[in-house]
Structure formats: C-alpha cells, structure tokens
Chain A
Amino acid sequence: MPSLSFLKSIGKNFIFLYKSNFKFRLGFTLILILFILGFTVSPFSPTSTRTWYAVPRDRPPSPEYLLGTSSMGRDVFWELCASIGKSLTIALITAMIASHIGLFIGLISGIRGGLLDRFLMFVSDTFIIVPGFLLLIVVISIIKSWITIPLLGAIISIVSWPWPARQVRSMVLSLRERTFVYTAKLSGMRTSKVLLFEIMPYVLGWHLVNFTNTILFSIGTESGLAIFGLSILGDNTLGVMLYWALNYYALFRGIWWWITAPIVTLVLIFISFYLISIGLSEHLHRIIG
C-alpha cells in the first residue's frame, strides 16, 4: 500500500528530525505544550472566559488565580488558554487555505511558464508590494459585524498566499532543469505525471515549511488587526486579549500580569514556529540539497 509506506516515511523523517535537530525539537516541544493548553486544558475552565466580572477584578497572580485576574473580571490563565486555542485555530485555517493556494499557483506558474507565469507572478508581486495589512483593515472594517473565526482565518489568507507561491515556483523552476525530470519527460511521461511523481515529492517538504510560516504570519496579523479593534472583540484570541489590556491601560495602572501574559505567549509562539520552520528547512537542505 503506497499510502502506508508514505506515512511510514513521514514518521521516520519526523523521528530523525526530532532526534537530530535541536531547533526543531525545542520548537516542537513548545508548540505541543501550547496546543495542549489551548485545546485540551482550556475546556476545563471553572469560570467563563467570555463573560464580564466572573471573578474579582485586578487581582495579582496567586495560587487561586495563577496569572491573576483582569480588569474585566476574567481569570487571566483560563482566558489565555482559550485564546491560544482560538488564535491557533484561526492560524491553522489561514495556513490550510493560503499555503495550498500558494502551492497550486506556484506549481502551475513554474511548470507552465510563459504568459500565465508572468501574469500570476505580477499579481503576487502586487500583493507583496501593497501593504497587505492595510488591505485587511479596509476589508474587515467593512464587514466588521459579520466576522467569525473561520471567516477571519479565510480573510487573512487573501494576503498570505503570495510568499508560498513564489517559493514553490522557484523550487519548480530549479527542479525542472534537473536530469531526472528531463529523463522522465523524454521517456514520454505526461506533464501531470511528471508534476505528481517527480516534482511533488521535493516540493512537499517545502510546502510544510510554507505552512509553518503562514501560521506565523496569520497569528501575527490577527493580533495586529485586534490592536486596531478589528478582530472578534467578544471572543478570546491572543490579539483580543492584547486589545482589552491596552484599552484598559493595564500597563500604566500596574496590572502588568494582564498584558504580559499574551505578549510572552505570542513571543513563545513566534519563536517556536520559527524554530520548527528553520529546523525543517535545514533538514530539507541536507536530504535534498
């Protein structure tokens, strides 16, 4: 069964990567902890993380309230856990959509070449040059009242596909010139088959790197939008937590635990996904060259 051997090879690669690459190991462990906090731990919250004044306000960290409580009367620890889950969900949705659009466009652009390639790359260059964040600000301010978590993830993908597309395209361009691809083509293999069996295996690893980078980009963008008040302010995401903490001047009122919690978590998320991404690319450079 080809799918079983495929899974086996992924597993083997993963174990090898985990054992041999310190950066990947560190990043992966941190992300695993964050995933557990966000998805497994957060449903056990004793108080609601979305209602106001569920717990006493402005309490510093203590055994009862691990990370203190906010001025909105929410337990910071449990709000943080819920926020990690929601932020990761948004990011995963963006990564699912944007990195696959990028893969598709990059493959077509690289293999077809010609006018289509030029057109697609011109469009993606436009997206790279235009300050994408402002584009999102305009779009989200128009539909502010309809926004949901999946929708937010989808909207962020509007500006996040060009980087994966460019990366995949340049991969395909360099692979196209390799001997084994020529051999396959000259022996009469159809273009779609060449793409699927000769080029895809090499691109897939980089696709994973792009996927990770898109997650990073999406989490950053969501929190940035939230600072502008353009996220789902009634829900819990890391950005929304930042928004309320900034709006209540948590820093100047000395409620440092409220604002430090999302900042530290965001920094941890960024660093660990980045570590995974460079760990992966180092590994790929070594096995593919």
Chain B
Amino acid sequence: MLHASKKSLLEYLATRTIMYFATIFSGITLTYLLVKAMPVDAVENIIFGLTQTVAGVYDPQSINKLREDLYEIFGLTGKSPLEDYLIFIRRVFTFNFGPSFISFPTPAFELVLRRLPWTIGLLSVSTAITWITGNLLGTIAGYFRTRKFTKVLESIAISLYPVPYYIMALILMLLFAFLIPIFPLGGGISVIPESLNLELILNIIWHSLLPALSLILPGALGWSFLSSRTLTLEVLSEDYTRYAEFRGLPGKHVLRRYVLRNILVPQVTVLALSLGGIFSGALLTEVIFAYPGVGSLAYRAAFAGDINTLMAVLILSMVAVSTAIYLLDLLYPLVDPRIRYR
C-alpha cells in the first residue's frame, strides 16, 4: 500500500513537471506567433525611433547588428517559418535577447535578472500575507454568516474586489503619502548600501510597505476573502460537517479540522490561477511607487521602445510565474488529505 502511494506520487510529480515545461514552451510559442503577426515594417520603425531619440550613440555597425537581432526575434529572416521559429526558440533558451537599448551594451537578460529579486521579494511576501489573511477572514465570515461584522466585511470585499491593484496604489498614495505623510513615496531604499546589514533590510521593508499594502488590501479583502467565504458555505452544507456539528464537536474544532482543511485545496488552485494577474498588477504598482523591480524596468523600456528588454521581461516573467505555479502544484500532496495521487 505504502509502495503504491509512493509510486503514484512520483507519477504525479512527473506529469506536473511535464506540464510545467509544456506551459513555458507554449507561452514562448504564443509570444512568437504574436510578434510574428506584427506589421513587417515594425522593426524599421523601432530602429528609426531609436536613432531619433539617442542619435549618435550607436555607430552604423552596431545598428546593423541590432537589425539582425530584431529580424531574428521577429522571425523575418526570410527563411522557412519553421527555421524562424527554431531560431527564436534557440535565442530564448540561451537567454540571448540581444543588447538592451536603455543601457546599451548591457544584455537585456542581465538587466532583467538584476531587477527580478526585488519583484519576487515583494510579490512572494505580499501574496503569502494576502492568501493567509484572506482565507482566515473568509472562513470566519462564512462560519458566522449572520453576524454584523460579516456584513460589513462583505460590503468592503465587494467594493475592493473589482478595483485593480494600481488604482488601489493611487488611492493609498493619495491617503498616506499626501494627507497623512508617514510613508516614503517611492524608491526601494533611501541610501545606497555599502553592505547588507539590519538597517538596510529595515529600510527596504519600510519602502516596500505601501506597494505591499496596495497588493494585499484588494487581495486579502477581495478575491481571497470572497472565494474562501463561498467555499466555506459549501463545506458547511456538506453532510460530514453537519454530522460533526450534530455530534456536538466544539465550533472551533469544526472550523479548523473540517472547514479550513477542506477549503485549502481549492484555494491553492485559486491562488495558482490568480498569480498571472497578481504579477501583472504588481508591475503597475511598482511603476506608481517607483519600486525598483521588473515593472519599473518594463516602464522605462516601453518608454524608450526597447523591444529587446521587453521581450526579456516577458519571457522571464512567464518562467517565473509558471515556476511559482509549479511549486504550488507540488504543495498539493501536502495540503490535501483526501486525494491519493493517481
């Protein structure tokens, strides 16, 4: 029996791993198809815009090199479509997106890699807080569905849920930075660090508070709260929960062992499906608070028409988000007491 379940777990891991790579691969293919569908003179347009804005920075030779790079990325080399596609795939898997335009000789890939820890740090902490508080609040609200505070929480959730993260960021900015000026308005740190010490870490956390709050509020009181409340109501109407109540088990026990335990699994799925949206939202929050993450980089790149850097941001973000979802998938066997993985 033990042996059998071990084997099925391995099978589960194998399918998930295959799915993980398949998703990344199809994401890259999707990007290729979209870029390929762009008008033909797009490349010339980009190069023209570039020579207009920073004239004299590039010598003709590097512009020619750039043109070749872009033609390869856009699949315009004049070879067969399959070859174009293979060239694109090879570039992606060797992380070769060409030089960035915004800080010219530096490869776009390196530029993104430097910013990625900031974004991942902000996102992982705020998403974890969102998920935990949202689930707890939602479960409690579902359990005490007739209380007054539940109604208040529900009205707040309904008005927060549809509001995008960046609008929340702007509202928080209006409130905290302007009317009650206690938080720093932007940036990741206020001093250039010489070495990593406690003061620096506190400084980073202090600067991340407002961006994190603008991600947590609409999440914890929005999607996470609403979906866990709905799930709680469903679990409460199940026979096994009724039975537990009829047996006279204390409410706390029912809540923890019967309700919370059973909503965790679908809530992991909800989280996995929301990650892409959260990531997109975080990009804008970063721009608004001038937080030095991938979003701010994408903003500068979009402003300068730096397509290489944008491509690097897109592909790396895809990899980051699918990796996060993959890791969440691996959590399933830990949180789910019911399913024996086939």
- A binding-site residues for B, Cβ under 8 Å: 23, 122-123, 125-135, 137-139, 141-146, 158, 216, 220, 223-224, 227-230, 242, 246, 251-252, 256, 259-260, 263, 266-267, 270-271, 273-275, 278
Contacts and interface: CB of A to CB of B under 8 A. Distances in A.
A130 B320 CA distance: 10
Nearest to B42: A142
A127 B303 CA distance: 25
Interface residues of B, number: 54
A259 B39 contact: no
B299 interface: yes
Nearest to B169: A227
Contact of A133 (B177, B283, B288): B283
Interface in B150-172: 158-159, 161-164, 166-167, 170-171
Contacts of B31: 135, 138
A133 B280 contact: yes
B321 interface: yes
Given A145-B45, A251-B173, A270 B284 contact: no
Contact of B302 (A129, A216, A223, A228): A228
A85 B313 CA distance: 33
Give 8 closest A-B pairs by Cβ, nearest first. A133-B280, A274-B162, A270-B162, A220-B164, A126-B26, A131-B279, A134-B314, A131-B280
Contacts, number: 141
B27 A126 contact: yes
B311 A138 contact: yes
B22 to A, nearest CB: 8
Contact of A228 (B161, B164, B298, B325): B298
A266 B307 contact: no
B87 to A, nearest CB: 18
B321 A131 contact: yes
A139 B38 contact: yes
Given A128-B276, A132-B276, A227-B287, A138 B314 contact: yes
Given A123-B26, A142-B42, A271-B159, A263 B170 contact: yes
Contact of A230 (B23, B159, B167, B302): B302
Contacts of B22: 122
A126 B174 contact: no
B38 A134 contact: no
Contacts of B39: 143, 146
A182 B302 CA distance: 54
Interface in B286-325: 287-288, 298-299, 301-303, 305, 307, 310-311, 313-314, 317-318, 321-322, 325
Nearest to B74: A142
Contacts of A125: 23
Contacts of A142: 35, 38, 42, 46, 307
B23 A129 contact: yes
Given A129-B23, A246-B288, A271-B162, 5 more contacts: A137-B302, A139-B35, A227-B284, A259-B170, A259-B174
11 contacts: A133-B283, A134-B283, A134-B314, A138-B31, A223-B164, A227-B287, A228-B298, A228-B302, A251-B173, A270-B162, A271-B162
B273 interface: yes
Contact of A129 (B174, B310, B322): B322
B34 A158 contact: yes
Contact of B166 (A135, A224, A256): A224
